Amino acid sequence: MIPTDYTSLPLEIADLPMRLEVGDFPERRWVECASCIEADPVGQGTDEAQDWAREHLRRHPDHDRFRIVSMTAWRLAPGSSERKADEE
């Protein structure tokens, strides 16, 4: 399953400076099988993903393609870009 614990997302940034790096926002990462819909949350390293992929391949020998997905989400409140442009 793709992780669905997004309690901190979307992040409201209407009152923050408009020049933000994507890396400044919370990130969710998971490893997923490219042959089916199974997935599992993972941390920053690749060890967890490798372990999960090996176990998945053991259970499904024809599922041999995997990917690590990283997602960052945020929200801009309506009018926030105009408001910040007026302040500059």
Question: pLDDT tens, 10-65?
Answer: 555 455 555 666 667 888 999 999 999 999 999 988 999 999 999 999 999 999 99
**How do beta strands 39-41 and 11-12 pair?**
unpaired
* pLDDT the model gives residue 73: 83
d(CA 46, CA 49): 5
- In this structure, what token pair is assigned to residue 70? 């990283």
User: At residue 86, what are phi and psi to the nearest 5 degrees?
Assistant: -65, -30
Contacts of 26 (CB under 8 A, 6+ apart): 8, 9, 11, 72
Question: Does the structure show a pLDDT above 60 at 88?
Answer: no
The residue with greater pLDDT, 6 or 57, is: 57
pTM comes to 0.61
